[in-house]
Amino acid sequence: MVRIRLENVVASTSLGDQLDLHSIALGLDGAEYEPEQFPGLIYRLKEPKTAVLLFRSGKVVCTGAKSLREVELSIAAVSGQIKKGGQKIHPHPKIEVQNIVASSDLEAEINLNAIAVTLGLDRVEYEPEQFPGLVCRIDEPKVVILLFGSGKLVCTGARKPSDVEVAVTNITKELRGASLLR
Protein backbone atom coordinates (compact mmCIF):
# COMPACT_ATOMS: atom_id res chain seq x y z
CA MET A 1 0.00 0.00 0.00
CA VAL A 2 1.32 3.40 -1.01
CA ARG A 3 1.74 5.86 1.85
CA ILE A 4 -0.22 9.10 1.36
CA ARG A 5 0.40 12.29 3.27
CA LEU A 6 -2.16 15.09 3.46
CA GLU A 7 -0.30 18.37 2.93
CA ASN A 8 -3.12 20.92 2.95
CA VAL A 9 -6.86 20.77 3.60
CA VAL A 10 -8.74 23.90 2.51
CA ALA A 11 -12.27 24.26 3.84
CA SER A 12 -14.91 26.94 4.12
CA THR A 13 -17.93 27.74 6.24
CA SER A 14 -20.13 30.66 7.23
CA LEU A 15 -20.17 32.04 10.75
CA GLY A 16 -23.05 34.43 10.18
CA ASP A 17 -24.65 36.94 7.86
CA GLN A 18 -22.15 39.65 8.60
CA LEU A 19 -18.94 40.03 10.58
CA ASP A 20 -17.49 43.28 11.91
CA LEU A 21 -13.91 42.65 10.85
CA HIS A 22 -12.61 45.85 12.41
CA SER A 23 -13.76 44.90 15.91
CA ILE A 24 -12.65 41.28 15.40
CA ALA A 25 -9.18 42.54 14.40
CA LEU A 26 -8.98 44.53 17.63
CA GLY A 27 -10.01 41.49 19.69
CA LEU A 28 -7.82 38.85 18.02
CA ASP A 29 -4.19 39.21 19.01
CA GLY A 30 -2.03 39.01 15.89
CA ALA A 31 -4.89 39.36 13.39
CA GLU A 32 -3.94 40.99 10.09
CA TYR A 33 -6.60 43.29 8.67
CA GLU A 34 -5.72 45.77 5.95
CA PRO A 35 -8.88 46.18 3.85
CA GLU A 36 -7.09 48.31 1.25
CA GLN A 37 -4.70 45.38 0.60
CA PHE A 38 -7.07 42.41 1.03
CA PRO A 39 -10.83 42.39 1.81
CA GLY A 40 -10.54 39.77 4.55
CA LEU A 41 -9.02 39.41 7.96
CA ILE A 42 -6.15 36.91 8.23
CA TYR A 43 -5.64 35.10 11.51
CA ARG A 44 -2.81 32.61 11.86
CA LEU A 45 -3.07 29.97 14.54
CA LYS A 46 0.01 28.34 16.03
CA GLU A 47 -1.79 25.14 17.05
CA PRO A 48 -2.95 23.67 14.78
CA LYS A 49 -0.73 25.60 12.35
CA THR A 50 -3.38 27.06 10.04
CA ALA A 51 -4.55 30.37 8.63
CA VAL A 52 -8.19 31.40 8.89
CA LEU A 53 -9.52 34.06 6.52
CA LEU A 54 -12.62 35.92 7.70
CA PHE A 55 -14.77 38.02 5.39
CA ARG A 56 -17.41 40.68 6.12
CA SER A 57 -20.06 38.45 4.50
CA GLY A 58 -19.56 35.92 7.32
CA LYS A 59 -17.68 33.50 5.06
CA VAL A 60 -14.60 31.83 6.48
CA VAL A 61 -11.81 29.90 4.75
CA CYS A 62 -9.34 27.74 6.65
CA THR A 63 -6.11 26.72 4.97
CA GLY A 64 -2.92 24.93 5.97
CA ALA A 65 -4.58 22.14 7.94
CA LYS A 66 -3.22 18.60 7.66
CA SER A 67 -6.61 16.99 8.42
CA LEU A 68 -10.32 17.75 8.68
CA ARG A 69 -9.91 17.58 12.46
CA GLU A 70 -7.38 20.43 12.34
CA VAL A 71 -9.86 22.48 10.24
CA GLU A 72 -12.58 21.86 12.84
CA LEU A 73 -10.28 22.81 15.73
CA SER A 74 -9.13 25.99 13.95
CA ILE A 75 -12.64 27.18 13.12
CA ALA A 76 -13.86 26.34 16.63
CA ALA A 77 -10.98 28.30 18.18
CA VAL A 78 -11.59 31.38 16.04
CA SER A 79 -15.38 31.13 16.51
CA GLY A 80 -14.94 31.01 20.28
CA GLN A 81 -12.74 34.09 20.29
CA ILE A 82 -15.13 36.02 18.03
CA LYS A 83 -18.07 35.05 20.27
CA LYS A 84 -16.13 36.23 23.35
CA GLY A 85 -15.75 39.57 21.57
CA GLY A 86 -19.53 39.91 21.52
CA GLN A 87 -20.37 39.06 17.91
CA LYS A 88 -23.27 36.82 17.02
CA ILE A 89 -22.24 33.76 15.05
CA HIS A 90 -23.81 30.47 13.98
CA PRO A 91 -23.46 27.93 16.82
CA HIS A 92 -22.67 24.94 14.55
CA PRO A 93 -21.23 26.10 11.23
CA LYS A 94 -21.30 23.51 8.43
CA ILE A 95 -17.75 22.99 7.21
CA GLU A 96 -17.23 22.10 3.57
CA VAL A 97 -13.90 20.84 2.23
CA GLN A 98 -12.95 22.72 -0.94
CA ASN A 99 -9.64 21.07 -1.77
CA ILE A 100 -7.21 18.51 -0.43
CA VAL A 101 -3.59 18.45 -1.53
CA ALA A 102 -1.71 15.24 -0.77
CA SER A 103 1.65 13.75 -1.66
CA SER A 104 2.92 10.23 -2.14
CA ASP A 105 5.90 8.35 -3.50
CA LEU A 106 5.71 5.47 -5.99
CA GLU A 107 9.19 4.46 -4.72
CA ALA A 108 10.64 4.06 -8.20
CA GLU A 109 11.78 6.42 -10.92
CA ILE A 110 9.32 6.72 -13.79
CA ASN A 111 9.64 7.68 -17.45
CA LEU A 112 7.34 10.67 -17.93
CA ASN A 113 7.69 10.63 -21.75
CA ALA A 114 6.49 7.01 -21.88
CA ILE A 115 3.64 7.80 -19.48
CA ALA A 116 2.55 10.81 -21.58
CA VAL A 117 2.39 8.67 -24.72
CA THR A 118 0.66 5.73 -23.00
CA LEU A 119 -1.97 7.68 -21.05
CA GLY A 120 -2.79 9.89 -24.03
CA LEU A 121 -2.83 13.59 -24.69
CA ASP A 122 -6.53 13.87 -23.79
CA ARG A 123 -5.63 13.15 -20.13
CA VAL A 124 -2.12 14.52 -19.69
CA GLU A 125 -0.08 17.66 -20.14
CA TYR A 126 3.67 17.28 -20.23
CA GLU A 127 5.94 20.13 -21.21
CA PRO A 128 9.26 19.53 -19.41
CA GLU A 129 10.64 22.89 -20.61
CA GLN A 130 7.81 24.61 -18.72
CA PHE A 131 7.33 22.36 -15.70
CA PRO A 132 9.19 19.21 -14.62
CA GLY A 133 6.05 17.24 -13.80
CA LEU A 134 3.43 15.49 -15.87
CA VAL A 135 -0.12 16.73 -15.19
CA CYS A 136 -2.65 13.90 -15.32
CA ARG A 137 -6.38 14.62 -15.03
CA ILE A 138 -8.49 11.85 -13.56
CA ASP A 139 -12.28 11.81 -14.00
CA GLU A 140 -13.26 9.47 -11.15
CA PRO A 141 -12.61 10.79 -8.58
CA LYS A 142 -12.21 14.21 -10.24
CA VAL A 143 -8.63 15.11 -9.25
CA VAL A 144 -5.35 16.14 -10.83
CA ILE A 145 -2.19 14.15 -10.20
CA LEU A 146 1.24 15.64 -10.80
CA LEU A 147 3.79 12.91 -11.51
CA PHE A 148 7.53 13.53 -11.28
CA GLY A 149 10.38 11.47 -12.73
CA SER A 150 11.58 10.66 -9.20
CA GLY A 151 8.33 8.76 -8.61
CA LYS A 152 6.96 11.38 -6.27
CA LEU A 153 3.44 12.61 -6.91
CA VAL A 154 1.06 15.30 -5.76
CA CYS A 155 -2.72 14.90 -5.85
CA THR A 156 -4.92 17.99 -5.79
CA GLY A 157 -8.61 18.70 -6.18
CA ALA A 158 -9.90 15.97 -3.87
CA ARG A 159 -12.77 16.71 -1.49
CA LYS A 160 -12.22 13.74 0.84
CA PRO A 161 -9.16 11.72 1.85
CA SER A 162 -10.70 8.58 0.35
CA ASP A 163 -10.69 10.29 -3.08
CA VAL A 164 -6.92 10.72 -2.78
CA GLU A 165 -6.48 7.05 -1.88
CA VAL A 166 -8.63 5.90 -4.81
CA ALA A 167 -6.82 8.18 -7.28
CA VAL A 168 -3.32 7.17 -6.14
CA THR A 169 -4.27 3.47 -6.12
CA ASN A 170 -5.78 3.73 -9.62
CA ILE A 171 -2.85 5.60 -11.18
CA THR A 172 -0.43 3.11 -9.59
CA LYS A 173 -2.40 0.15 -11.01
CA GLU A 174 -2.61 1.83 -14.41
CA LEU A 175 1.15 2.47 -14.53
CA ARG A 176 1.93 -1.10 -13.40
CA GLY A 177 -0.56 -2.52 -15.93
CA ALA A 178 1.24 -0.64 -18.72
CA SER A 179 4.65 -1.83 -17.39
CA LEU A 180 5.63 1.75 -16.62
CA LEU A 181 6.16 1.06 -12.93
CA ARG A 182 7.84 -1.89 -11.27
CATH code: domain of residue 154: 3.30.310.10
Residues 14 and 90 in one domain: yes
Residues 110 and 81 in one domain: no
Domain of residue 170, residue span: 106-177
Residues 165 and 126 in one domain: yes
Residues 93 and 124 in one domain: no
Kindly state whether residue 3 falls inside one of the protein's structural domains.
no
Residues 24 and 51 in one domain: yes
- Please tell me the predicted confidence (pLDDT) of residue 182: 77
Overall number of domains in the chain: 2
Kindly state whether residue 153 falls inside one of the protein's structural domains.
yes
Q: Is the pLDDT of residue 1 over 80?
A: no
Q: Is the peptide bond before 91 cis (omega within 30 degrees of 0)?
A: no
What is the per-residue pLDDT across 39-89, written as a single tens digit (0 to 9) for each? 999 999 999 999 999 999 999 999 999 999 999 999 999 999 999 989 999
User: Rounded to 10 degrees, what is the CA torsion of 27, 29, 30, 36?
Assistant: 10
* pTM > 0.75: yes or no: yes
